[in-house]
Chain A
Amino acid sequence: MFEAILLTVITASTPLVLAALGELVTERSGVLNLGVEGMMIMGAACAFVAAQLTGSPYIGILAGILGGGIFSLLFGFLTLTLVANQVATGLALTILGLGLSGQIGEAFVGQPGIKLQPIVFPFLSDIPFFGRVLFRQDLIFYVSIALVVGINWFLFRSRTGLKLRAIGDSHASAHALGINVIRTRYLAVMFGGACAGLAGAQLSLVYTPQWVENMSAGRGWIALALVVFASWRPWRVLAGGYLFGAVGIGQLHAQIVAQNLGIVIPSQFLSALPYAATIVVLIIISHNRRTTLINTPASLGKPFVPDR
């Protein structure tokens, strides 16, 4: 049973981790995009529709990534080229995404979806417990783990990552050094959109293979919060996402176990537990004020107009 629970936790946590990772890169470049929920739901709709039309969940994944990525360009254009307010534009992106995705998916409501099948690694998947849990997953899960490692390396070990962080900390200085601030931010915003789109694809192809309007049900907002509470560190995002998922699934089981034992625990309290637990744990992890300050992109949310 423990194995089954773990599988459920992975499914519940993956979309949070993916969307949060994308937003992390966007925010590290100094751009605050509150449209994660909108990009995620666009990804979910595009992925589902494409998978239904072609019969291939892999084309669906691609469509989800493109859907989220292209949709985020709208945000990029408004905030980076036209220098619109990032907070307002991000919120607008969410509203637009929720509405637009409803239009895109309207003809597909109620259709049974195509579930993305796991990729089973030979030998590794025969390892008792961990092998069975970790090496019989779908492509999106493997990608999410690879992204944690990759983004961590990119941000803290690569030259381009250093430039991206420099832009996030002080776009004026980076600009003075000759780094193309706007171009890098466009790429970071699109990467964030693509990740959110992939998270959406996970929702409509793996988590619940169907299309319903609003099916992301606030997961984009949780991902946004995760980035902040994880103080912009990829591994902490992974930990936070899985903690949230694990406590969320755990509380459902706790309800049943409590019933078996005849104990009364208010379900409302249990429902709030994932939020409380994740916040508390991530605050403890990030309690060092100095390192948190170092990790916070100093230019976050500030508009940048290159001087001419």
Chain B
Amino acid sequence: MKKLIIALAASAALMGGFSTGAVAQEKKKVCFIYVGSKTDGGWTQAHDLGRQQLDKALGAKVETPFLENVPEGPDAERAIERMARSGCSLVFTTSFGFMDATVKVAAKFPDVKFEHATGFKAGPNLATYNSRFYEGRYIQGQIAAKMSKKGVAGYIASFPIPEVVMGINAFELGARSINPNFKLKVVWANTWFDPGKEADAAKALIDQGVDILTQHTDTTAPMQVASERGILAFGQASDMIAAGPKTQLTAIVDTWGAYYIKRAQALLDGTWKSEQIWDGLKDGILTMAPYTNMPDDVKAMAEETEAKIKSGELHPFTGPINKQDGTAWLPAGEKAQDGVLLGMNFYVEGVDDKLPK
């Protein structure tokens, strides 16, 4: 209810903004829909940073209106449609949960171009773009296995969708490549954004004996708890070093800017095509925050893994890999297909959590 009202209010505010914008003529509108607040210190902030870079690079030719705090679900459809109606030429919808809403609106507005982040449904005027976050999580897993004294890490997860499950698996695979007995405890917060609940999840994991934390939720609250309790942690989506100067080992930093500029340029040039992009560390859509609070040999290992992933020498999902119950999944030497990863609904060996069927 609350979010609905915010969305409505925000759309109303935006409509006001558009009517004045229309006078400024000729500028193309590249619009953004955010699931959270643009200053959340994590996921949405990373997208907004990308939007600002786009504004800076092509500000003379494009406008970049955005809607923040748009809830996933039916309200999202309304918000996206409002954007489409208001003259946007290209709309980026930046959360997995906007997928079906984006598909519906894209079908209604064939002349408007849409790009949906992290989803798997495309169309003639609907592209998808994603980042290979799992590459970063594999590196984190390796670092965790080196740095954890107890051999158990805690993972604050949001929702059991393939993206998150893939991240958990990549982390565990990285950890097991160093310590074959490494354990991973998962707590589902069932939210992307709730500082209090994320902090509670962090405390629960620490009280249950983990000594390294990683998160797939959006705020810096878990980092702050880790820092208070004197354990180590990984940042998510944005560099969270300010929340834990002595705590953060590294962070997966989403760097969408270059991609947004590239696609907006394609729109201006008339060369925009619906594609399904899945870029990784080597393309710069994802970078690792500086490796800190670790000894030099661990840092060297992390850098080496990063270089190997970039060069294509190492793919985190390379067999032999067993499923959680010990049955064989990937034969030795084989790399997982992208399609399989994007629909991942099972754990690999070593994860303690059980996925609800």
| B residues 125-182 touching A (CB-CB < 8 Å) | 160
**Cα separation A263 to B352 with both chains bound (whole Å):** 10
Instruction: Name the B residues within 8 Å of A260 (CB-CB).
Output: 352
Assess the A4–B356 pair: CB atoms within 8 A: no
Closest chain B residue to A254, Cβ basis: B204
Instruction: Name the A residues within 8 Å of B40 (CB-CB).
Output: 212-213
| A residues 202-231 touching B (CB-CB < 8 Å) | 203, 207-210, 212-215, 217-219, 221
The reply to whether the CB of B185 lies closer than 8 angstroms to some CB of chain A is yes
Closest CB-CB distance, B350 to chain A, in whole Å?
12
Assess the A259–B354 pair: CB atoms within 8 A: yes
Instruction: Name the A residues within 8 Å of B187 (CB-CB).
Output: 252, 255-256
| B residues 207-236 touching A (CB-CB < 8 Å) | 207-208, 219-221, 224, 228
Instruction: Name the B residues within 8 Å of A178 (CB-CB).
Output: none
Closest chain B residue to A221, Cβ basis: B2
Given contacts A94-B2, A95-B9, contact A259 B207 (CB under 8 A): no
The reply to whether the CB of A303 lies closer than 8 angstroms to some CB of chain B is no
**Cα separation A212 to B208 with both chains bound (whole Å):** 27
**Cα separation A111 to B41 with both chains bound (whole Å):** 10
| B residues 1-41 touching A (CB-CB < 8 Å) | 1-2, 5-6, 9, 36-37, 39-41
Instruction: Name the B residues within 8 Å of A117 (CB-CB).
Output: none
Instruction: Name the A residues within 8 Å of B9 (CB-CB).
Output: 95, 99
Instruction: Name the B residues within 8 Å of A37 (CB-CB).
Output: 2
The reply to whether the CB of A189 lies closer than 8 angstroms to some CB of chain B is no
Given contacts A37-B2, A111-B242, contact A255 B196 (CB under 8 A): no
Determine the main DSSP class of A at the interface with B.
Answer: helix
The reply to whether the CB of B298 lies closer than 8 angstroms to some CB of chain A is no
Binds B, one of A64-72, A148-156, A167-175, A266-274: A266-274
**Cα separation A142 to B199 with both chains bound (whole Å):** 22
The reply to whether the CB of A122 lies closer than 8 angstroms to some CB of chain B is no
Instruction: Name the A residues within 8 Å of B354 (CB-CB).
Output: 258-259, 262-264
Assess the A112–B356 pair: CB atoms within 8 A: no
The reply to whether the CB of B311 lies closer than 8 angstroms to some CB of chain A is no
Instruction: Name the A residues within 8 Å of B39 (CB-CB).
Output: 102, 106, 109-110, 212-213
Instruction: Name the B residues within 8 Å of A115 (CB-CB).
Output: 228
Query: Which of B1, B185, B199, B242 sits near A207, CB closer than 8 Å?
Result: B199
Assess the A94–B196 pair: CB atoms within 8 A: no
Closest chain B residue to A3, Cβ basis: B207
Instruction: Name the A residues within 8 Å of B191 (CB-CB).
Output: 217
**Cα separation A252 to B200 with both chains bound (whole Å):** 8
Given contacts A91-B5, A99-B9, A208-B221, contact A252 B204 (CB under 8 A): yes
The reply to whether the CB of B194 lies closer than 8 angstroms to some CB of chain A is yes
Q: Name, among A209, A212, A265, the residue most crowded by chain B CB atoms within 10 Å (CB to CB).
A: A212
The reply to whether the CB of B253 lies closer than 8 angstroms to some CB of chain A is no
**Cα separation A268 to B204 with both chains bound (whole Å):** 17
Instruction: Name the B residues within 8 Å of A248 (CB-CB).
Output: 197, 200
The reply to whether the CB of B201 lies closer than 8 angstroms to some CB of chain A is yes
The reply to whether the CB of B65 lies closer than 8 angstroms to some CB of chain A is no
| A residues 85-140 touching B (CB-CB < 8 Å) | 91, 94-95, 98-99, 102, 106, 109-112, 115
The reply to whether the CB of A177 lies closer than 8 angstroms to some CB of chain B is no
Assess the B41–A109 pair: CB atoms within 8 A: yes
The reply to whether the CB of A280 lies closer than 8 angstroms to some CB of chain B is no
Assess the B199–A214 pair: CB atoms within 8 A: no
**Cα separation A111 to B224 with both chains bound (whole Å):** 11
Query: Which of A8, A215, A256 sits near B200, CB closer than 8 Å?
Result: A8
Query: Which of B2, B195, B196, B204 sits near A256, CB closer than 8 Å?
Result: B204
Closest chain A residue to B160, Cβ basis: A267
Q: Name, among B9, B39, B205, the residue most crowded by chain A CB atoms within 10 Å (CB to CB).
A: B39
Query: Which of A203, A214, A259 sits near B185, CB closer than 8 Å?
Result: A259
The reply to whether the CB of B353 lies closer than 8 angstroms to some CB of chain A is yes
Instruction: Name the A residues within 8 Å of B352 (CB-CB).
Output: 259-260
Closest CB-CB distance, B72 to chain A, in whole Å?
15
The reply to whether the CB of A5 lies closer than 8 angstroms to some CB of chain B is yes
| B residues 107-128 touching A (CB-CB < 8 Å) | none
Assess the A221–B1 pair: CB atoms within 8 A: yes
The reply to whether the CB of B335 lies closer than 8 angstroms to some CB of chain A is no
12 contacts across the A-B interface (CB closer than 8 A): A8-B203, A8-B204, A99-B9, A109-B39, A110-B220, A115-B228, A213-B37, A213-B40, A217-B195, A217-B197, A264-B354, A267-B356
**Extra contacts besides A94-B2, A109-B39, A263-B354 (19): CB < 8 Å:** A5-B204, A5-B207, A8-B200, A98-B2, A98-B6, A110-B220, A209-B224, A210-B221, A214-B37, A215-B219, A217-B194, A217-B196, A248-B197, A253-B208, A255-B188, A256-B205, A256-B208, A259-B353, A267-B188
